[in-house]
Amino acid sequence: MLSSIKDKLLNVKKTVPLFSTSNDKGCVQCELNMNAGSEILTHFQNEWQTLHKTNEENAKKAQEVADTIAQVARKIDRDKESLGLMTHLLSNSNLHANIVQCTEQIEQVYDSFNEVEEGLLQLEELIDNIEFENMKKQHRYHLQQYRLRKNESLQVLEASLKEKYEKSAAEHELKKQKELQERQKVFHEAFKNDLEIFKNFGTIPKLDLPKQPSALLEEIQVDYDEKELDQFFEDNPSK
């Protein structure tokens, strides 16, 4: 519409020389403003573009609103169907009873879980006690083995000490017997000498013998010949 008006104005501009009179001898210049009305035209063009753009945006938003309304309508229809189905199930079925039964079964399962958990705790405690008893048995076994080894070592040590003591005692006894035999031999020789002196001189000389702290009288055994002693007394009758 605006473009057609603009075209008409351009045609008017081209036909302006037609308004000059034929009586004019020279070229008469017409004072005509060629830009008259252009601002108005531009104003209406801008307004038309704005309106067109606004209409397009409104149409787009209207389409979006229509889509949203359609989605809401479909959701309402689905909800209505679901509500009808639920109403039908609640009114014409045993759903409530089934829900109550399921709730009771869930409670029973929960109680069973508690019992199983308590049983597991008891089993864990029993396992700990069994492991503790096994550990005690192992320690007792190791202690018994240690005692046996120590007893065997003690017996071996006692046997070794006993053997050493018996050997030492035997050596000491042998040494003591040798010393006694030597002393007996010395006293026997001295006794024979005294008998000879007594036979010849009628007296026995007194000798200072070294003291033997370990020698006792009852330990001294004098070997003598009884026949020789009898003969001595026969040759020297008592006065």
Q: Write down how long the chain is.
A: 239
List the chain residues with pLDDT less than 50.
2, 16-28, 214-215, 217, 238-239
Type of residue found at 227: K
State the residue for tokens 């309106």: 51
Q: State percent of the chain over pLDDT 90.
A: 38
Beta carbons of 28 and 20 less than 8 angstroms apart: yes
Question: And the tokens for 48?
Answer: 């038309």
pLDDT at 193: 83
If you ran DSSP here, which 8-state letter would residue 90 be given?
Answer: H
What is the spatial distance between Cα 40 and Cα 5, in angstroms, rounded to a whole number? 11
Reported as a single tens digit per residue, the pLDDT across 26-73 is 444 556 666 667 788 888 888 899 999 999 999 999 999 999 999 999
What is the spatial distance between Cα 162 and Cα 154, in angstroms, rounded to a whole number? 12
What is the spatial distance between Cα 137 and Cα 47, in angstroms, rounded to a whole number? 106
Question: Domain ranges in the chain?
Answer: 2-68, 180-232
**Confidence (pTM):** 0.32
Cβ-proximal residues to 1 (8 Å cutoff; 6+ apart), any chain: none
What is the spatial distance between Cα 55 and Cα 106, in angstroms, rounded to a whole number? 62
Rounded to whole angstroms, what are the CA distances from 158 to 114, 150, 161, 164, 170?
A: 65, 12, 5, 10, 18
pLDDT at 123: 95
Beta carbons of 231 and 198 less than 8 angstroms apart: no
